[in-house]
């Protein structure tokens, strides 16, 4: 090999070595520039969970607040002090079995509880902190609200139809309240239809946390349409109410029935043959069958004028609503109101029973108009106050897009 070739070979080796070193340097610099992930401390209501031993559990039947803290090494005098201090905000005697709680305990050898967190429901919590001084605070998890749609054709009941679509039974209950003055929910027909826009609450946008208000609804009962739109007609009072597509208030002065869910077992009938008596005897009431203990509601505002036990009527309550209307509720298991009390529409006045002359649990609902007993189901009952004319245009503009959305929901 000539000297020239040897010199060229050495030059190539030096060049390749230099390039390799540069590549290694660039690779190292590139690696150094990659940000390493920063560990984020887990937190709960502002507490750094890395600083505690975290115990999650449920309150067992018969388990008391003191038992829980004693199990986590808090002495009895301290437990008594805590319970006394927080009682105005959280009465520890009323903690319910099955509710979740969290203990934040010391991470040392004592593992002594320092914070007690009680979960009332998915949203509401009470935090009892007794690390140094004792204090309690109530917190709520942040929730988001989304508008959901549901629609269906009734084959058996509204509750069943909604359940088949995996909609909370709360929606059925709220719909029965909204339409309590306009639709007899005890006499829904097969093939009646419904549509509803309602609020669904979520925690972290994913965890369902209950139902909000019904935004709007549509019911087609025996071929007749019934719209309901949630609206604040009086901004001074700020009370929400439900109105139809023509600005009429859905409320009436009287509810259709004194029970939320039931069925009519016997209607007002002056020629009814009563099995108990074995002869024809006028029945001047409407019987609503329901299990013993079902709450009985006052169908309108008024003053209790009778609350007593008497013969075949059993336990009963009688309410004067005004100079025109009076109602009576018979066969109660127990009465809740006394003579002279003022009750509001929907207030519980007693519970379904079998007192007096009756062959089964029900409430006999009697209705007087101008001192004469009449059939309440055939009365044209007075409506609530109409919407003020000056806000009707605003209301109609407000409901237009909502009505379009309702109309376009497929069954």
pTM: 0.60
Could you tell me which residue, 193 or 237, shows the higher pLDDT?
A: 193
Rounded distance, CA 141 to CA 129, Å?
18
Q: What is the pLDDT of residue 240?
A: 83
All domains of the chain in start order, with CATH: 45-140 (3.10.450.350), 144-243 (3.10.450.350), 263-378 (2.70.70.10)
**Model confidence band, residue 25 (pLDDT cutoffs 50, 70, 90):** low
pLDDT-above-90 percentage for the chain: 55
- Could you give the 3-state DSSP secondary structure of residue 289? strand
pLDDT exceeds 90 at position 215: yes
Reported as a single tens digit per residue, the pLDDT across 291-319 is: 999 999 999 888 899 999 999 999 999 99
Residue 14, pLDDT score:
58
Per-chain mean pLDDT for the chain: 86
What is d(CA 321, CA 366) in angstroms, rounded to the nearest whole number?
Answer: 13
pLDDT score, position 291: 93
pLDDT band, very low/low/confident/very high, at 23 (cuts 50, 70, 90): low
Q: What is the mean predicted confidence (pLDDT) over 255-274?
A: 75
Whether the per-residue pLDDT at 254 is higher than 90: the answer is: no
Please tell me the predicted confidence (pLDDT) of residue 236.
53
The residue-averaged pLDDT of 233-262 equals: 81
Task: Please name the helix (run of DSSP H) or strand (run of DSSP E) that holds residue 316, with its range, or none.
Answer: strand 314-320
Question: What pLDDT is attached to residue 280?
Answer: 64
Report, in angstroms and rounded to the nearest whole number, the Rg of the chain calculated over CA atoms: 34
User: Strands (DSSP E) along 189-223, which ranges?
Assistant: 193-203, 207-221
Query: Strand runs (DSSP E) across 235-274, as ranges?
Result: 239-243, 263-266, 273-274
Asked if residues 396 and 355 have their Cβ atoms less than 8 Å apart, the reply is no
Q: Name the 3-class secondary structure at 217.
A: strand
Confidence of residue 322 (pLDDT cuts 50, 70, 90): confident
* Structure token pair of residue 196: 């509803």
Looking at residue 235, what is its pLDDT? 64
Rounded to whole angstroms, what are the CA distances from 79 to 61, 98, 112, 138, 255? 20, 21, 12, 19, 50
Q: How confident is the model at residue 181 (pLDDT cuts 50, 70, 90)?
A: confident
* pLDDT bucket at 2, cuts 50 / 70 / 90: low
Beta-carbon-side half-sphere exposure of residue 56 (alpha carbons within 13 Å)? 4
State the Cα angle at 107 between 103 and 109, rounded to 5°: 110
* 90-106 tens-digit pLDDT: 999 999 999 999 999 99
Tens digit of each residue's pLDDT (9 = 90 or more) over 32-87: 555 556 566 688 899 999 999 999 999 999 999 999 999 999 999 999 999 999 99
| Average pLDDT estimate for 194-219 | 93
- What span, in angstroms and rounded, lies between the C-alpha atoms of 184 and 56? 47
When pLDDT is averaged across residues 338-367 and rounded to a whole number, the result is 92
Separation of alpha carbons 352 and 148, rounded Å: 36
The pLDDT, as a whole number, for residue 60 is 95
pLDDT at site 20: 59
Residues 6+ apart with CB under 8 A from 258: 288, 296, 297, 298, 299, 327, 329, 363, 365
Which of 95-109, 270-284, 329-343, 382-396 is the least confident region? 270-284
The answer to whether residue 17 scores a pLDDT higher than 70 is: no
Whether the per-residue pLDDT at 201 is higher than 60: the answer is: yes
């Amino acid at each position: 090999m000539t000297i020239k070739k040897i010199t060229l070979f050495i030059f190539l080796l030096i060049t390749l070595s230099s390039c390799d070193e540069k590549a290694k340097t660039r690779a190292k610099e590139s690696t150094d520039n990659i940000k390493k992930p920063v560990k984020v401390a887990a937190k709960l209501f502002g507490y750094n969970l890395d600083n505690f031993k975290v115990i999650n559990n449920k309150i067992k039947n018969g388990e008391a607040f003191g038992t829980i803290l004693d199990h986590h090494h808090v002495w009895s005098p301290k437990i008594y002090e805590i319970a006394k201090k927080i009682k105005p905000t959280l009465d520890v005697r009323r903690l319910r079995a099955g509710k979740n709680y969290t203990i934040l305990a010391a991470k040392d050898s004592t593992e002594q509880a320092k914070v007690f967190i009680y979960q009332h429901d998915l949203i509401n919590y009470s935090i009892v902190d007794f690390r140094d001084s004792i204090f309690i605070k109530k917190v709520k998890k942040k929730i988001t609200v989304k508008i959901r749609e549901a629609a269906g054709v009734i084959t058996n009941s509204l509750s069943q139809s909604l359940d088949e679509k995996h909609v909370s039974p709360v929606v059925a209950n709220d719909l029965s309240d909204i339409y309590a003055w306009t639709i007899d929910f005890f006499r829904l027909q097969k093939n009646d239809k419904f549509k509803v826009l309602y609020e669904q609450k979520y925690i972290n946008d994913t965890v369902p946390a209950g139902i909000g208000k019904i935004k709007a609804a549509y019911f087609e009962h025996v071929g007749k349409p019934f719209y309901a739109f949630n609206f604040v007609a009086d901004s001074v009072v700020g009370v929400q109410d439900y109105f139809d597509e023509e600005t009429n208030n859905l409320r009436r002065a009287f509810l259709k029935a004194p029970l939320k869910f039931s069925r009519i077992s016997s209607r007002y009938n002056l020629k009814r043959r009563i099995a108990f008596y074995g002869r024809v005897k006028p029945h001047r009431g409407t019987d609503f069958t329901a299990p013993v203990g079902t709450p009985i509601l006052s169908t309108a505002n008024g003053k209790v004028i009778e609350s007593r036990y008497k013969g075949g009527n059993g336990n009963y309550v009688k309410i004067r609503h005004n100079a025109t209307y009076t109602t009576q509720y018979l066969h109660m298991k127990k009465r809740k109101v006394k003579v002279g009390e003022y009750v509001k529409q929907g207030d519980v006045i007693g519970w379904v029973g079998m007192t007096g002359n009756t062959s089964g649990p029900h409430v006999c609902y009697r209705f007087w108009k101008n001192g004469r007993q009449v059939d309440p189901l055939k009365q044209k009952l007075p409506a609530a106050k109409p919407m003020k004319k000056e806000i009707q245009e605003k209301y109609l503009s407000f409901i237009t897009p909502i009505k379009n959305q309702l109309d376009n929901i497929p069954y």
